Amino acid sequence: MKVGTDGVLLGAWVPVDNTTCSVMDIGTGTGLIALMIAQRNTSAEIDAIEIDKEACEQSFENIEKSPFKSRINVIHQSFPEYTTAKKYDLIVSNPPFFADSLKSPDQKRTAARHNDTLPLRLLIEHAMKMLSEDGRLAFILPIQLSGELDFIIATHRLYRIRRTDVISVEGSMSKRFLIELSAKNLPGKRHTTDILVLETNERKRTRQYQELTKDFYL
C-alpha cells in the first residue's frame, strides 16, 4: 500500500506532547505514521507492528533511511497475537476498514483494506490492555463505523477526547473521521468535535489542511 491521505492526516492530527513517551503504531505499512510521530516528538519511542512481511520490510527500509531509526522498532507480527508487559502512552492505527466493499483479488491489498483479520472491536480491546494509566487511542475510520464505535465506547466505558470529521471536498459529506479516546476521564481533556475540509471546489488544498500538514508535504 502506498502512502495515503488517511495516514498523513492521523500522523499530523494526533496530539503528541512531551508526555507521549511510548507509542505503538498498529498496521504500520510503510512506517508513515510512526515516522511522522517521531518527527513531531523528539523523545517518543515507537513500536511499529505489521502483519505483512513485505510491508514490514518496506517500513524497516524507510525507517533505516530516516534520522529517527534509533527510536522506531519494527515488529513483524499479528497484532492480536502480540503480547507485552510494556505500556503505551499512545496507540494509533489507520486500520483495515472496508468491511462491506468488494474485495480485491490481490490478497495483500485485501488484508490491508478489509477488517476481516482485525475487526474494530478486537483492535480496541487488545489495545486497551497495553495502555498506560493516562494512555490514549487514536484512529482514522470511515463514517460507516461511527455507530459501531459508539457501541464499543459505551460497552467498554471509554471516553471521547476529540473527534474530527473529514470532508474531502467542500460541500460534500464526510466519509472519514479522526477519533481520540481514553480509558479514563483525563484531567483537562474535554470532548471536542470539529470538521476538517481537505480541498476547495477548485481542487486546491484548504488553508486548514495546509496548516495541519505543512511540516510533511513539500
- What type of residue sits at position 174? S
- Summarised one tens digit per residue, pLDDT across range 120-132 is 999 999 999 999 9
Q: Which of 149, 155, 153 is nearest to 182 (CA)?
A: 153
pLDDT confidence band for 97 (50 / 70 / 90): low
Closest among 14, 3, 4, 97 to 58, alpha carbons compared: 3
In angstroms, the CA 21 to CA 42 distance is: 9
- CA distances (Å), 119 to each of 72, 168, 172, 182, 186, in order? 26, 25, 28, 19, 26
**Element (DSSP H or E) covering residue 64:** helix 53-64
31-77 per-position pLDDT tens digit: 999 999 999 999 999 999 999 999 999 999 999 999 999 999 999 99
Q: According to the model, what pLDDT value does residue 113 have?
A: 42
15-19, 34-38, 147-151, range with the lowest pLDDT: 15-19
Q: What is the pLDDT of residue 188?
A: 79
pLDDT of 171? 95
Is residue 106 pLDDT above 80, yes or no?
no
Helix (H) or strand (E) holding 33: helix 32-40
Tell me the average pLDDT of the chain: 90
Question: Given this model, what pLDDT does residue 105 score?
Answer: 47
Question: What percent of the chain clears pLDDT 70, i.e. is strictly above it?
Answer: 89
Region 191-200: what's the mean pLDDT?
Answer: 96
pLDDT level of residue 187 (50, 70, 90 thresholds):
confident
Task: Name the helix (H) or strand (E) containing 127.
Answer: helix 120-128
Whether 183 contacts 171, CB under 8 Å:
no
Angle between helix 32-40 and helix 53-64 axes, rounded to 10 deg: 30
Would the pLDDT of 98 be above 50? Answer: no
Mean pLDDT value across residues 139-157: 96
The cell numbers describing 20, all together, are 507521549
pTM for the whole thing? 0.90
Q: Which three cell numbers stand for residue 55?
A: 510491508
